[in-house]
Structure 1
Amino acid sequence: MTNTCILYADPDGTDREEVIEGLRADLSDLDPTFVASGSLADAESVLEDRSVDCVVTEYDLGDGLGIELINHARMHQPDTGGVLFSAVGYDELDTAIFQAPVTEYLDKDSPRAVTRLAELVRLTITRRTQISYPLPEGETQRLEALGSYDFDAEGLQRSLDRITELAARHLDASNAVVNLIEKHRQRFLATDDPSAAWDATSRADSVCTFTILDADRVLTVEDVTDDPRFETNDRLLGEGIRSYVGAPLVTSAGHVIGTVFAWSERPRSFDRADETYVRVLAEVTMDLIECHVRPDERGVAPTDGEGGP
Structure 2
Amino acid sequence: MTERTVLCVDTEDDVGATASTVEDEPTLTAVEATTVADARSTLESEAVDCVVTEYELEDGSGLEVVDAIREETPQTPCVLFTDARPGDVDTSSFEDLIVEYLGKHLPDAHDRLGFVVDDVITHSSQVGFLLPDNEDERLEALAEYDVDELPIEESFERLTDLIASHFDTAVAFIGLVERDEEDILACHGADWGSITREDTICTHSMLQEDVMVVEDISSDKRFDSNEGLHNLGIVSYAGANMTTDSGEVIGQVCLIDHEPRTYDADQRADLQQFADEAMEMLELRQRVIDAEMEVAQ
Q: Secondary structure at the match of 1:152?
A: helix
The aligned counterpart of 2:199 is 205
Pairing 1:1-309 to 2, within 5 Å after superposition: 131-153=127-149, 155-193=151-189, 196-214=190-208, 216-293=209-286, 295=290
What is the CA–CA distance in structure 2 between the aligned matches of 1:280 and 1:245, rounded to whole Å? 13
Question: 1:132-185 CA deviation, whole Å, 9 max, x = no partner?
Answer: 211112100100111111223453111111211111111111010000111011
Contact 2:150 / 2:285 at 8 angstroms: preserved in 1?
A: no
Q: Normalization by structure 1: what TM-score?
A: 0.51
Structure 1 or 2, whichever has the larger Rg, is 2
Q: Secondary structure at the match of 1:292?
A: helix
Contact 2:151 / 2:285 at 8 angstroms: preserved in 1?
A: no
What is the deviation of 1:290? 0.8
Q: Secondary structure at the match of 2:256?
A: strand
What is the CA–CA distance in structure 2 between the aligned matches of 1:181 and 1:231, rounded to whole Å? 22
Contact 1:176 / 1:192 at 8 angstroms: preserved in 2?
A: yes
Report the identity percentage.
Answer: 34
Distance 1:168 1:238, change over 3 A: same
After TM superposition, the runs of 4+ consecutive aligned structure 1 residues lying more than 4 A away are 127-130
Q: Secondary structure at the match of 2:285?
A: coil
Give the unaligned 5+ runs of structure 1: 1-126, 300-309
Question: 1:91-132 CA deviation, whole Å, 9 max, x = no partner?
Answer: xxxxxxxxxxxxxxxxxxxxxxxxxxxxxxxxxxxx899522
Q: Normalization by structure 2: what TM-score?
A: 0.53
What is the CA–CA distance in structure 2 between the aligned matches of 1:292 and 1:129, rounded to whole Å? 38
What is the CA–CA distance in structure 2 between the aligned matches of 1:265 and 1:130, rounded to whole Å? 28
What is the deviation of 1:223? 0.1
The aligned counterpart of 1:65 is none
Q: Which moved more, 1:161-170 or 1:219-228?
A: 161-170
The aligned counterpart of 1:50 is none
What is the CA–CA distance in structure 1 between the aligned matches of 2:187 and 2:126, rounded to whole Å? 31
Q: What code does the residue aligned with 2:195 have?
A: T
What is the deviation of 1:197? 3.1
Q: Secondary structure at the match of 1:204?
A: coil
**Count of residue pairs brought into register by the alignment:** 169
Distance 1:220 1:128, change over 3 A: closer
**Aligned-CA RMSD value:** 2.3
Q: Secondary structure at the match of 2:237?
A: strand
